Amino acid sequence: MSLSVALRHRFPGFDLDVAFEAPAGVTALFGRSGAGKTTVVNAVAGLLRPQAGRVAVNGWELFDTESGHWLPPHRRRVGYVFQDGRLFPHLSVARNLRYGRWFTGRRAEDDRFDDIVDMLGIEPLLARRPGALSGGEKQRVAIGRALLAAPRLLLMDEPLASLDEARKAEILPYLERLRDRTEVPVLYVSHSVPEVARLATTVVTLRDGRVAAAGPAAKVLSDPDSIPDLGVREAGAIIPATVVVHHADGLTEFEAAGGRLLLPRIEAEPGRRIAVRIHAQDVILSRTRPEGLSALNILAGRVAAVRRGEGPGVMVQLDCGGERLLARLTRRSAEALELAPGAPCYAILKSVAVARGDVWTPMSG
């Protein structure tokens, strides 16, 4: 299961030259405005014929400029989910969903209809028209419609961008289920680091038409070299942890590689694996184990890398028991603490700095 992309295309004033391989799951394309994300998506969809390249999904070639093979867009079996759902307003949800059936055998579709409706939680909406749905519900229906056409690849172009935070939080678990339960690879364009952190299996960052980084999401997101593409304020690492116990004061205790974490309570039974995103700007570093602090979380580690930005800040990458953590501090502090690769140090994190949405169970049940 994989997505293989190699593209070269030149517009006046812009030169795209990218190549990446992504395993099954959600591949997030990330990059600043104008980095080339839409151009990649358009080439994969067949809306742009690139000057050179090849794209294949699980070995199935969409095009190859060398051999001259070119599948037109309607034969690519690529499902789309756009920012604005694009449902047919005069058709019920059920009829919108069935719109894609022309592309598949009827029996196969009937079998899958119930599964997809169940996975997306849209059964109660089937008789309604799109005008009577919330933004998040519309997007779930749009995803269902795309899946029912039995795509070999799903393209999602900022599917949550038009939703407010509450609606985003509501739809994320469905996208996680989609990732975990279906075998359809997803190419996901986004500007949102929290969304990508939660959903992506693989992250590809583009910078000026080139691949700046590509690899497992946790690795790319905690790489100080990715900061220019992710934005300093958004930078943060994802670390795995295990639920140990829920305390009566509203905190949940977790076991992470670098030590114990106490974070706002989440609903997950002890023993359950979770992922937590720790923002670089919420982490304080100390060379000695601090005492008498109000902060409840202290993780032991070593400096893995220090990256200087253009301003007064530096990004420090720590190795905490094999997991990577990021801390943003001033250059002045980094120098005073003599933070260099290999230096032992402690990462300090306030429990309340971690928002509920930054702790999640990576595999939905």
Ligand X SMILES: Nc1ncnc2c1ncn2[C@@H]1O[C@H](COP(=O)(O)OP(=O)(O)OP(=O)(O)O)[C@@H](O)[C@H]1O
Segment near ligand X (CB under 6 A); pick from 27-35, 148-156, 171-179, 232-240: 27-35
Cβ proximity to ligand X, 192 vs 361, nearer residue: 192
Cβ proximity to ligand X, 14 vs 88, nearer residue: 14
| 11 near ligand X, rule: CB under 6 A | yes
HEC per residue, the chain: CEEEEEEEEEECCEEEEEEEEEECCEEEEECCCCCCHHHHHHHHHCCCCCCEEEEEECCEEEEECCCCEECCHHHCCEEEECCCCCCCCCCCHHHHHHHHHHHCCHHHHHHHHHHHHHHHCCHHHCCCCHHHCCHHHHHHHHHHHHHHCCCCEEEEECCCCCCCHHHHHHHHHHHHHHHHHCCCCEEEEECCHHHHHHHCCEEEEEECCEEEEEEEHHHHHCCHHHHHHHCHHHCEEEEEEEEEEECCCCEEEEEECCEEEEEECCCCCCCCEEEEEEEHHHEEEECCCCCCCCCCEEEEEEEEEEEECCCCEEEEEEEECCEEEEEEEEHHHHHHCCCCCCCEEEEEECHHHCCHHHEECCCCC
| 159 near ligand X, rule: CB under 6 A | no
Number of residues that bind ligand X (CB under 6 A): 10
Cβ proximity to ligand X, 9 vs 328, nearer residue: 9
| 38 near ligand X, rule: CB under 6 A | yes
- For the bound state, the minimum distance from the C-beta of residue 11 to ligand X, rounded and expressed in Å, comes to 3
- For the bound state, the minimum distance from the C-beta of residue 32 to ligand X, rounded and expressed in Å, comes to 7
- For the bound state, the minimum distance from the C-beta of residue 42 to ligand X, rounded and expressed in Å, comes to 8
Segment near ligand X (CB under 6 A); pick from 30-38, 91-99, 230-238, 303-311: 30-38
- For the bound state, the minimum distance from the C-beta of residue 249 to ligand X, rounded and expressed in Å, comes to 43
Cβ proximity to ligand X, 27 vs 39, nearer residue: 39
Cβ proximity to ligand X, 35 vs 278, nearer residue: 35
| 37 near ligand X, rule: CB under 6 A | yes
Q: How far apart are CA 137 and CA 268, in angstroms?
A: 25
* Among residues 25, 36, 100, 136, the one that binds ligand X under rule CB under 6 A: 36
- For the bound state, the minimum distance from the C-beta of residue 34 to ligand X, rounded and expressed in Å, comes to 4
| 35 near ligand X, rule: CB under 6 A | yes
- For the bound state, the minimum distance from the C-beta of residue 7 to ligand X, rounded and expressed in Å, comes to 11
Segment near ligand X (CB under 6 A); pick from 31-39, 76-84, 288-296, 337-345: 31-39
Cβ proximity to ligand X, 65 vs 351, nearer residue: 65
Judged by CB under 6 A, the chain residues 200 through 239 that form the site for ligand X are none
Phi, psi of 24 (to 5 degrees): -55, 155
| Footprint of ligand X (CB under 6 A) | 11, 14, 31, 33-39
